[in-house]
Amino acid sequence: MNTLADTIKKTNALFCLECGKCTASCPIAQVNNSYSPRRVVGHTLVKSGDDILEDEMLWACLSCKSCEPGCPADVDYTRLTLDLRARASEAGLHGMCTHGGALQALMRIMTTPDLKQNRLDWLNGDLKTADKGKVLYFVGCAPYFDIFFSDLGVKTLDTTRSAIKLLNAVGVEPVLMANERCCGHDLLWSGDQENFLKLAEHNLQAIKETGAKQVVFSCPECCRTIKEDYARNLGNLGFEALHISEFITDNMAASQSLFPTNQRQEKVTFQDPCRLGRHLGAYEAPRKMMQAVPGVELSEMRMSGKKAICCGVSNWLNCTTYSKQIQVERLRQAHATGADTLVTACPKCEVHLRCAMKDPNLGDELKIEIKDVATLAAEALA
Amino acid sequence: MERSRRVEPFEQILKQPGVSLSFPRDPNSEYAVGRIDTSPCRLACPAGVNTKAYISLIAAGRFREALEVVRETNPFPGICGRVCVHPCESFCNRAQVDEPVAICRLKRFVADYELQHPQEPAGPLPVTQKEKVAIIGSGPAGLTAANDLIRKGYAVTVFEAMPKAGGMLTAGIPSFRLPRPIIEYEIDIIKKLGVEIKTGKKISGRRAIDKLFETGYDAVFIAIGAHKGKKLEIAGEDKYEGTLDASSFLYQVNLGRAPKLANRVAIIGGGNSALDAARSAVRLGSKAVTIVYRRSRKEMPANEWEIEDAESEGVKIQYLTAPVEILGRNGKVTGMKCTRISLGEPDESGRRRPIPVQASEFTFKAGNIIAAISQEPDLSFLPKKHEFDISKWRTFNVDESTLATSRPGVFAGGDAVTGPNTVIDAIASGHVAAQSIENYLNSQSLQQASDSKAAAKTSSPGSLDQLTLDSSSTTDLRATSLNGSGRRPDEFEIKVDIGQNRKKLRADMPIMSRSARIAGFDEAELGFSETAAVAEAQRCLRCGPCGECFICVSECEKTVSVMASTDGRRDALLRLPPEITTPNLQSWPLDGILNVGRRKPIPVQITPTTCTVEQEICRGCGECVSVCEYSAPMLIPKPNGLHVSIISERICRGCGTCVAVCPSSAIVQQYFSEDWLLGKLQSMDQTKRNVVIFTCNWNGTELVPPDLEAMSQPDANLIFIRTTCCGRIEPSFIFRALEHGADGVLAAGCPTSACHYSFGNRHATEHFSKVRNMLNLLGYSPEKFQWTWPDKNRDDGFIEAIGLHLRNMRDGKSCSEFVDENKTRAVTDA
């Protein structure tokens, strides 16, 4: 592991001007005034040794990268958080896990080498998949989410089925891996570098064995993790990692008749997932895919694209009253557009915003139909 | 730079246990319990059965306690739960939302529950009074009086002319409505208290009553019922063989001497006896059974549901028809001459007067004619000359409020006074008789008692000050409330907010198929399942504030669950008496001394297991509010427009069910922290097969054998982790156990409401099934994750259950509990 000095150097933290633009743009800092990214950077620089690791505020960051575009010194705050958490975790410190840590424990169980998973039981005959091929579809944890969050009415498997339908529609029969494991995203951001690497090595090996040249994701977290974190830790991937919206828009031109005309009218707004937008820079692809569907009218929220607010929780850590405030604000912004449907592109956004909508007191004020961009597009297929 | 520390918010300090101003179990604080009004269902019950209380207890899964409440005023819950006409349901406010609560069937459910979970019945009660009481007739009136009197300390003898006890219950009601074992079981309870029932002993003769007094009885209660069938008073009635009266017909059927019937049977009358006779005839094999009734269906006195059941079994009903002459040939009945009827003006009973239609006579063919027009008391036991005042209906005239006859020391009640009437009215009259007999024997003037009762009626039932109780007056309050307030059910004064309630129709009673029903005399209605009963009871609107179940009084004697730990090494969950938990606490944990037998006193740390909410974390989702059985959490508004949950430490009983469902882990249960769990899991020996067993403390502590090694299989290592209640077992516990190397996980707790926490197993089952489905995707076999809720009252129930599940886990068999539960659900759904 790098030393603290390495981390500071690598993340440009030493160049911090203490201007506070990060804090001003941080969604958590807007609602929790005891949190400030600027202060965390400051403390990292001035504290002796590893004292910074005991700061609870280390775990408050959503790693949504809202703070980075405005930074004049180009400090990589997200990376700083990632490294500090890994160090804290090594020192036996950890953040507060949601659901009693059930989901992190599940991910660690997935590091067991000889699992005989039934994770593709949800596939049905309509979906065409292949054992070998150039394009691989990485399913992610949707089968687990649908059970664990059944109380919230979460339907992330609809998203994965839709993604496969879309791939089929552009003439691709994707490879699916029965021995796929969790991508390790949440373990990585919880500081559990060791188990993250176990999962990463397993998945990378498995993907390479299929010989795929393109890996498609409907979960932006998996996409970011494999594209950037696997590559950073394990070297050159040897394949291209793409979000489903990127893959479909790239291949759509070839088949113009993908979506038949005379679809129903649907007014939608779009929640940019932080991993897809600010982490991977894919702002256009999901919008392009949505707007290719006849009858879909996109109306943007007050804060969208680079300025979009994240869904309030990430990595199954620190789900607090502040998260709820962010979610309530985001849902209100969605309502303000007059849209019927809030379209997102990440299962986590769906879980978190659905949970917020369950508020017994705010009730109907927050309720809005939530749909993944892949589901929206697949519904319109011929 | 000085390292910055966050300052603890003020609320954080306030919610430290002990800082709040009062602590719940302070022996110096006193609580008054009183009723403000009585619910309409209870006011409607002639016997004043505390309906609301037992419904509330069923809703809370406290079935045994519910049954105790019923028994306070009604010794026949299983009988009334089947055949009561339930006036309570007619006044149920739930009807304004959708349908009344199935109060009667819920009573049957608790009675059946006891049959399925038998308890040693109470032994003989000591006789404390010198006077003896004779009761003539062992029907509901007689036995209710006997039951009351034996509890008051009197020696009681019941004389029964029939070979079996039970009066009209046994002789008149067929077993498909009321199975004989139910009657026998409930009468047996009364017998076991010391009541002597002399069956086959008819009191009759010239000096019958005198002899009773001469042989040492000091008071007599005549409760002979109305068993004598009335005559049709038409031509040909006594001329031919094959004419019966319903009363003697049912008597023969019920005592196993059913007569052979013709294929075509006519029953005359429109009451419950007519229907019982008709349905019995169907079961005896008659192919064409017709009820002939002179008015229309609207005027039929029989219960609507009985009529429907009879029709579904193939009984035909001829309305507006009356017989005028019985016809026959060769000494045998062949039919009857009938006339059509039209209805005129209402008579004094409020029903329209039947008027024969001229020249409408016709012949109705039948091989048997059963007259079921009414019954009257059989007064043949009295000598020709006697001192009793008999009415023109051949019933006893008595003082309305005391049931005293014209002879001192002799009382009469039940059908003998009213003519044919309901079981619950007979029970009510038994209570009055017992009270009057006690008053009489205490040489009190009956009139005086009657005055005081009148006075009680006029005083307001509402004022709390009247009812403030200390421990010694608890029973008095109960006694006064049993007599009811003397008001009518429609006088219920508290407004019930109907609009708040969502519609939820009442539970359907599972019933045997028609063909199975008419094939024999087995009980047609099958009874509610536990789940259905709880759901049905939860429909109750709880009219009026206090149900007077008096659980609070007994609960208060117990204390909150408290965790005592000894130097963090060995620990035990204990329920400590108030004197330990209630010094003037300034902060937990509290240092204490634990004395166990003659062993050296052990210094302990005492921590309450109550739950607290971290205000900064709580998202205000309300999950805790929805799962708490005790209403301890509450959502309160925050300045930012969101809500936050707070848990009342006074109400919280520390089961931890809310902790298990909190999505953001905002609820902290003292002692049961993440570190506690991890500490336990780290003790696994990775070289062996580890099975983690989460047990609820209250079942587990008592029954986990001290020597765990003995239970371990040679290659297996058992790790017992005790939680306050199995409701605390959350999904992460199972995942974490696996993560730390467990091979299987078992949850073992109490059955529903077997301990002071009611529904932990329900929540644990939900969590477990969810995790099992997820682990199935991962390729773990579901058999390795099992749960069991053994009855701790069974010998070795807990250890046996654990053994069984360990074997199943090893052999890959599915969880028996799981299968059973699915089976029950399927039955309920069907």
Q: Report the candidate in B239, B244, B249, B231 with the shortest Cα–Cα distance to residue B326.
A: B239
Residues of chain A with CATH 3.40.50.1860: 258-379
Distinct helix (H) and strand (E) counts, chain A: 17, 7
Q: Which pLDDT score, from 0 to 100, does residue B680 have?
A: 81
Domain A258-379 fold is Rossmann fold (3.40.50)
d(CA B387, CA B53): 44
Neighbouring C-alpha atoms within 13 Å toward the C-beta of B552? 17
- Taking only the tens place, the pLDDT of each residue in B678-731 is 888 887 777 778 888 888 766 554 444 444 444 555 667 788 887 888 889 999
Q: Which pLDDT score, from 0 to 100, does residue B29 have?
A: 30
Q: Is the pLDDT of residue B451 over 90?
A: no
**What CATH homologous superfamily does B254-373 map to?**
FAD/NAD(P)-binding domain (3.50.50.60)
Contact between chains at A96 and B739 (C-beta distance less than 8 A)? no
* Chain B CA closest to residue A40: B4
| Options 1.10.10, 3.40.50, 3.30.70, 2.60.40; CATH of B672-829 | 3.40.50
Count of Cβ atoms closer than 10 Å to residue A167 Cβ: 24
Query: Token pair for residue B284?
Result: 């005896």
Q: Is the pLDDT of residue B492 over 90?
A: no
- Residue with the larger pLDDT of the pair A284 and B444: A284
Instruction: Give the A window 136-175 contacts with B, CB below 8 Å.
Output: 143-144, 147-148, 150
Does the domain made of B40-119+484-552 have the CATH classification 1.10.1060? yes
Q: Is the pLDDT of residue B515 over 80?
A: yes
Q: Does A261 touch chain B (CB under 8 A)?
A: no
Which of A98, A147, A328 lies at the smallest CB-CB distance from B642? A328
Q: Which pLDDT score, from 0 to 100, does residue B59 have?
A: 85
DSSP per position, B59-125: HTT-HHHHHHHHHHH-S-HHHHHHH---HHHHT-GGGGTSS---HHHHHHHHHHHHHHS--PPP-PP
Across the beta sheet with B570-575, the strand order is B570-575, B561-566, B602-608, B590-594
Q: Report the candidate in B776, B505, B757 with the shortest Cα–Cα distance to residue B653.
A: B757
Contact between chains at A321 and B637 (C-beta distance less than 8 A)? no
Query: Token pair for residue A5?
Result: 């000095």
d(CA A83, CA B337): 103
Instruction: Give the B window 611-670 contacts with A, CB below 8 Å.
Output: 615-622, 625, 635, 637-638, 640-644, 660, 663-666
Contact between chains at A105 and B739 (C-beta distance less than 8 A)? yes
Q: Is the pLDDT of residue B462 over 50?
A: no
Which of B622, B660, B773 lies at the smallest CB-CB distance from A360? B622
Task: Tell me the β-bridge partners of A311.
Answer: none
Task: Tell me the β-bridge partners of B696.
Answer: B723
- CA–chain centroid gap for B226, Å, is 29
Contact between chains at B778 and A117 (C-beta distance less than 8 A)? yes
Number of inter-chain CB pairs under 8 A, A vs B: 129
Instruction: Give the B window 745-774 contacts with A, CB below 8 Å.
Output: 770-771, 773-774
Contact between chains at B777 and A99 (C-beta distance less than 8 A)? no
- Taking only the tens place, the pLDDT of each residue in B502-512 is 778 888 888 88
d(CA A224, CA A247): 15
What does each C-alpha distance from A2 to A7, A9, A11, A87, B712 come to in angstroms? 7, 10, 12, 9, 47
Q: How confident is the model at residue B480 (pLDDT cuts 50, 70, 90)?
A: very low
- Taking only the tens place, the pLDDT of each residue in B738-754 is 998 888 898 888 777 66
Contact between chains at A328 and B776 (C-beta distance less than 8 A)? no
Could you tell me which residues come within 8 angstroms of residue B124 by beta carbon, excluding any fewer than 6 positions away? B192, B193, B194
* Chain A nearest CA to B733, separation (Å): 7
Which of B1, B660, B774 lies at the smallest CB-CB distance from A144? B774
Q: Which helix (H) or strand (E) holds B748?
A: strand B742-748
What is chain B's alpha carbon radius of gyration, rounded to the nearest angstrom?
A: 32
Q: Mean per-residue pLDDT for B111-128?
A: 87
* Chain B CA closest to residue A109: B739
Q: Mean per-residue pLDDT for B576-592?
A: 47
List phi, psi (to 5°) of B98.
-150, -80
Q: Mean per-residue pLDDT for B442-464?
A: 44
Are the C-beta atoms of residues B252 and B401 closer than 8 Å to each other? no
The one-character DSSP state at A362 is T
| Options 2.40.50, 1.10.10, 1.10.3470, 3.40.50; CATH of A99-252 | 3.40.50
* Chain A nearest CA to B772, separation (Å): 10
Contact between chains at A325 and B616 (C-beta distance less than 8 A)? no
- Taking only the tens place, the pLDDT of each residue in A219-264 is 999 999 999 999 999 999 999 999 999 999 998 876 566 787 666 7
SS3 sequence of B199-222: CCCCCCCCCHHHHHHHCCCCEEEE
Q: Is the pLDDT of residue B124 over 80?
A: yes
DSSP per position, B754-768: SSSS-SHHHHHHHHH
Q: Is the pLDDT of residue A277 over 60?
A: yes
Which of B1, B644, B735 lies at the smallest CB-CB distance from A106? B735
CATH code for the structural domain at B132-227+377-452: 3.50.50.60
Q: Is the pLDDT of residue A18 over 80?
A: yes
Q: Is the pLDDT of residue B465 over 70?
A: no
Q: Report the candidate in B672, B724, B695, B713 with the shortest Cα–Cα distance to residue B790.
A: B695
* B255 three-class SS: coil
The one-character DSSP state at A149 is T
* Chain B CA closest to residue A313: B664
The percentage of residues in chain B with a pLDDT greater than 70, rounded to a whole number, is 74
Q: Mean per-residue pLDDT for A94-117?
A: 91
Contact between chains at B773 and A99 (C-beta distance less than 8 A)? no
Q: Which pLDDT score, from 0 to 100, does residue B401 have?
A: 85
Token pair 């993908």 in the structure block, residue:
A258
Q: Which pLDDT score, from 0 to 100, does residue B786 have?
A: 85
List phi, psi (to 5°) of B520.
-165, -165
Q: How confident is the model at residue A65 (pLDDT cuts 50, 70, 90)?
A: very high
d(CA B171, CA B174): 8
SS3 sequence of B356-390: ECCCCCEEEECCEEEECCCEECCHHHCCCCCCCCE
Contact between chains at A319 and B664 (C-beta distance less than 8 A)? yes
Q: What is the ipTM of this complex?
A: 0.93
Q: Which pLDDT score, from 0 to 100, does residue A375 have?
A: 94
d(CA A276, CA A244): 11
Contact between chains at B642 and A150 (C-beta distance less than 8 A)? no
d(CA B268, CA B262): 16
Q: How confident is the model at residue B552 (pLDDT cuts 50, 70, 90)?
A: low
Which of B641, B731, B739 lies at the smallest CB-CB distance from A109? B739
Q: Mean per-residue pLDDT for B104-117?
A: 93
Q: Is the pLDDT of residue B592 over 90?
A: no
Q: Which pLDDT score, from 0 to 100, does residue B606 have?
A: 65
Q: Is the pLDDT of residue B813 over 80?
A: no
- Taking only the tens place, the pLDDT of each residue in B763-798 is 888 898 899 999 989 988 888 888 888 766 665 666
Q: Which pLDDT score, from 0 to 100, does residue B84 have?
A: 92
- CA–chain centroid gap for B593, Å, is 42
Contact between chains at B619 and A98 (C-beta distance less than 8 A)? no
Query: Token pair for residue A204?
Result: 């990378």
Query: Token pair for residue B640?
Result: 């930012």
Distinct helix (H) and strand (E) counts, chain B: 31, 28
Contact between chains at B776 and A321 (C-beta distance less than 8 A)? no
Are the C-beta atoms of residues B540 and B60 closer than 8 Å to each other? no
Q: Which pLDDT score, from 0 to 100, does residue B158 have?
A: 96
Contacts 24+ apart (CB under 8 A), A204-207: A204/A230, A204/A234, A204/A237, A206/A177, A206/A179, A206/A180, A206/A181, A207/A136, A207/A138, A207/A177, A207/A239
- Select the residue from A47, A48, A99 to test the B interface by mutation, using most B Cβ atoms within 10 A: A99
Q: Is the pLDDT of residue B12 over 70?
A: no
- Taking only the tens place, the pLDDT of each residue in A158-198 is 999 999 999 999 999 999 999 999 999 999 999 999 999 99
Question: Highest mean pLDDT: which of A204-208, B59-63, B67-71, B698-702?
Answer: A204-208
Q: Mean per-residue pLDDT for A325-332?
A: 95
Judge if B132-227+377-452 and B254-373 fold alike in CATH terms: yes
Neighbouring C-alpha atoms within 13 Å toward the C-beta of B415? 25
Q: Does A110 touch chain B (CB under 8 A)?
A: yes
What is chain A's alpha carbon radius of gyration, rounded to the nearest angstrom?
A: 20
Contact between chains at B674 and A98 (C-beta distance less than 8 A)? no
Contact between chains at B620 and A321 (C-beta distance less than 8 A)? yes
Could you tell me which residues come within 8 angstroms of residue B452 by beta carbon, excluding any fewer than 6 positions away? none
Contact between chains at A56 and B637 (C-beta distance less than 8 A)? no
Q: Which helix (H) or strand (E) holds B338?
A: strand B332-346
Q: Does A18 touch chain B (CB under 8 A)?
A: no
Q: Which of A95-109, A144-158, B300-314, B742-756 has the lowest mean pLDDT?
A: B742-756
d(CA B709, CA B516): 53
Contact between chains at A361 and B665 (C-beta distance less than 8 A)? no
